[in-house]
Amino acid sequence: MSLKEKILELAKQAKQASRKLATASGAHKNAALYALSELLKEKEQEIIQANELDLSAAKERGLDQARIDRLKLTPKIIAGMAQACVEVAAMSDPVGEIEEMKKRPNGLMVGRMRIPLGVVAIIYESRPNVTIDAAILCLKAGNAVILRGGSEAFHSNQVLSRLISQALKQAGLPEEGVVLLPTTDREAVKIMLKLDEFIDVVIPRGGEGLIRAVVEQATMPVLKHYKGVCHIYVHKDADVNAALDIVFNAKVQRPGVCNALECLLVHKEIAEEFLPLVAQKLGSAGVKFHACPVAMSHFSENVVPATEDDWGQEYLSLDLAVKVVNSQDEAQEHIARYGSNHSEAILTRDYQRALKFIQEVDASAVLVNASTRFNDGGQFGLGAEIGISTSKLHAYGPMGIKELTSTKFVVFGQGQVRE
C-alpha cells in the first residue's frame, strides 16, 4: 500500500468513527477518559523510555535546549496529563445541547443543537503532551481526530497513541476515532491536507512558517493564529505600581509564548514617571528595549533605537518594543496596524477609556488591568485548550470543548407548510 493509499484509508476510517463518536453517550466518552488517565499512570515508565529515544535523537540533531525542554516528558508532566483526562471528563458535555429555542408566528419551534465538527486534523510540533490534550478535548466534543506530531516526538507520540486506542476500546468506542499518522514523511501532511472529503477542519499548532504552509496547502477550513504580537497600552491615569507588575509579568514570566507582551505603548503624560521604572525592573531581568526616539531618553542601558521592523515583531524572547504615544487613539491605531488579533490590554483607572478600548480594539482577547498572559483556555475556565484562533470563523480566542463543536438548526412543527 502506497503512502497516499494509507493516509486515505486512515482518513476514511476516522470519518466513519466520527459518526459513532458524534452519538456516543457522555458516559462512554468519560469512561474512555478515565481509562486513559489510569493507563498513563500505569505505563509511565514505558512512556519515559520512548521519550528518552526522542530526547537522545534530538540531542544528536543539535536541537536547542528550549526545544529539548518542550520535548521532555517527566513523571510530573505525565501525572498532569493523567489529571487532565479526569478534569475534561468532569466538564459538561456540549453535544446535543439545544440553544435559543424560539417560537415563530406560524407555530414552528426553531432552535440550534450543538454538534461535533466531525474529523479534526491537528498538526503540531515538539510537545508530546499535545497528543493527549488534543485527543481528550476532541473526544469529549464527539470528534474523531487525526494527529500529526513533530518528527522529534515520534516515539513518544506512538506510545501515547496506543494508550489512547486502548482506552477507546475499553470504553466500547471505535479505536479509529483517534489516529496518529504512522510516519515522519512530510509528504503525508501534504496528502492529508487535500482530503477535505473526509477531514472537516485542520488546526496547526507551531511556528508561523508551519501555519502558513498549512493554510496554503489545505483544502479544508483552518483554525489558526499566525503569531502573537501582543500590546499593552498604559494610559495616563494608570496605577503605576500595578501597571509595572502587569508589564513585568506579561514580558518576563514566559517570553517565548504567544500571549507574551511584545510591544509596550505608554501615554506621553505618564512616560516620565513610568518608563524609568520599566527600565530598572525589566532591565534587571535581562530585557532588551527597542525604543522610539521619545522613549529612548528614559533608558540608559539595554536599549537600541526601534526600527520599523520592531513594530509588529513577535520576538519570543526578552526583547520589548517601546513607544510613547500622544493619545489612546494613537495607541489603538498602532495596534490596528501592527497587532495580530491575539491579545491586547489597556491599563487605566478610567472606566470610559477601558470601555472604549474593549469596544474598538479587535483581538481574540481584550484585557483591562490584567496581563496578556491570561489569554489561555485554562485561565479562562475552559479546562484546557486545543489552541488559540485569531481567524474568527468559527472560533475567536482559546478553543476548548465547546469551540470544537458547531450548531445545526432543529425545527419542530405540527404539520406547517410554507405558503
Q: Do 23 and 115 have their domain in common? A: yes
Q: Do 26 and 144 have their domain in common? A: yes
In whole angstroms, what is the distance from residue 84 CA to residue 164 CA? Answer: 14
Q: Is residue 402 part of a domain?
A: no
Residue 14 carries which DSSP code?
A: H
Q: Do 125 and 252 have their domain in common? A: no
372 contacts 344 by C-beta, under 8 angstroms: yes
Domain holding 318, by residue range, is 230-373
At 181, is the secondary structure helix, strand, or coil? coil
Is residue 196's pLDDT more than 90? yes
Q: Is residue 391 part of a domain?
A: no
Place 314 in a pLDDT band, splitting at 50, 70 and 90.
Answer: very high
Q: Do 177 and 311 have their domain in common? A: no
In whole angstroms, what is the distance from residue 87 CA to residue 156 CA? Answer: 23
CA 109 vs CA 91, 115, 183, 200, 414: distances in Å: 29, 19, 49, 29, 9
Q: Do 60 and 126 have their domain in common? A: yes
- Sequential DSSP letters for 208-231: HHHHHHHHHH-SS-B-------EE
Q: Is residue 36 part of a domain?
A: yes
Kindly report the average pLDDT of the chain as a whole number: 95
HSE, CB side, 13 Å, CA atoms: give it for residue 196. 7
What is residue 43's predicted lDDT score, i.e. its pLDDT? 98
CATH of the domain at 133: 3.40.605.10
Q: Which residues pair with 324 in a beta bridge?
A: 266
Mean pLDDT of 155-160: 97
Q: What is the pLDDT of residues 182-193, one digit of tens each?
A: 999 999 999 999
Place 398 in a pLDDT band, splitting at 50, 70 and 90.
Answer: very high
Is residue 100's pLDDT more than 90? no
Q: Is residue 288 part of a domain?
A: yes
In whole angstroms, what is the distance from residue 188 CA to residue 3 CA? Answer: 7
What is residue 126's predicted lDDT score, i.e. its pLDDT? 81
Place 125 in a pLDDT band, splitting at 50, 70 and 90.
Answer: confident
Q: What is the pLDDT of residues 260-276, one digit of tens each?
A: 999 999 999 999 999 99
Place 295 in a pLDDT band, splitting at 50, 70 and 90.
Answer: very high
Place 391 in a pLDDT band, splitting at 50, 70 and 90.
Answer: confident
More confident residue, 126 or 275: 275
Is residue 384's pLDDT more than 80? no
Q: Do 50 and 171 have their domain in common? A: yes
Is residue 385's pLDDT more than 90? no
Q: Do 36 and 172 have their domain in common? A: yes
| Cell numbers standing for residue 302 | 539595554
Place 392 in a pLDDT band, splitting at 50, 70 and 90.
Answer: confident
What is residue 322's predicted lDDT score, i.e. its pLDDT? 98
Place 156 in a pLDDT band, splitting at 50, 70 and 90.
Answer: very high
Domain boundary among 184, 200, 218: 184
CATH of the domain at 276: 3.40.309.10
Identity at 331, one-letter amino acid code: A
What is residue 243's predicted lDDT score, i.e. its pLDDT? 98
Locate cell 512558517: which residue?
A: 209
HSE, CB side, 13 Å, CA atoms: give it for residue 314. 19
Find the angle CA(374)-CA(249)-CA(396) to the nearest 5 degrees: 25
- Sequential DSSP letters for 114-177: EEE--EEEEEE-S-THHHHHHHHHHHHTT-EEEEE--GGGHHHHHHHHHHHHHHHHHTT--GGG
Q: Is residue 53 part of a domain?
A: yes
DSSP E strands in 74-108: the ranges are 98-103
Counting the structural domains of the chain, the total is 2
Residue 160 CB contacts under 8 Å (≥ 6 apart), including other chains: 47, 128, 131, 132
Q: Do 179 and 291 have their domain in common? A: no
Q: What is the pLDDT of residues 335-345, one digit of tens each?
A: 999 999 999 99
300 contacts 291 by C-beta, under 8 angstroms: no
Q: Do 243 and 157 have their domain in common? A: no
Q: Is residue 114 part of a domain?
A: yes
Q: Do 178 and 269 have their domain in common? A: no
ω into residue 394 within 30 of 0, thus cis? Answer: yes
Q: Do 163 and 240 have their domain in common? A: no
Q: What is the pLDDT of residues 218-253, one digit of tens each?
A: 999 999 888 999 999 999 999 999 999 999 999 999
Domain boundary among 184, 218, 242: 184
Is residue 366's pLDDT more than 90? yes
Mean pLDDT of 148-160: 95
Q: Is residue 198 part of a domain?
A: no
Is residue 66's pLDDT more than 90? no
Mean pLDDT of 298-324: 97
Domain boundary among 184, 213, 244: 184
Q: Is residue 62 part of a domain?
A: yes
| Cell numbers standing for residue 317 | 524572547
| Cell numbers standing for residue 141 | 466534543
Q: Do 36 and 129 have their domain in common? A: yes
At 205, is the secondary structure helix, strand, or coil? strand
Mean pLDDT of 294-306: 96
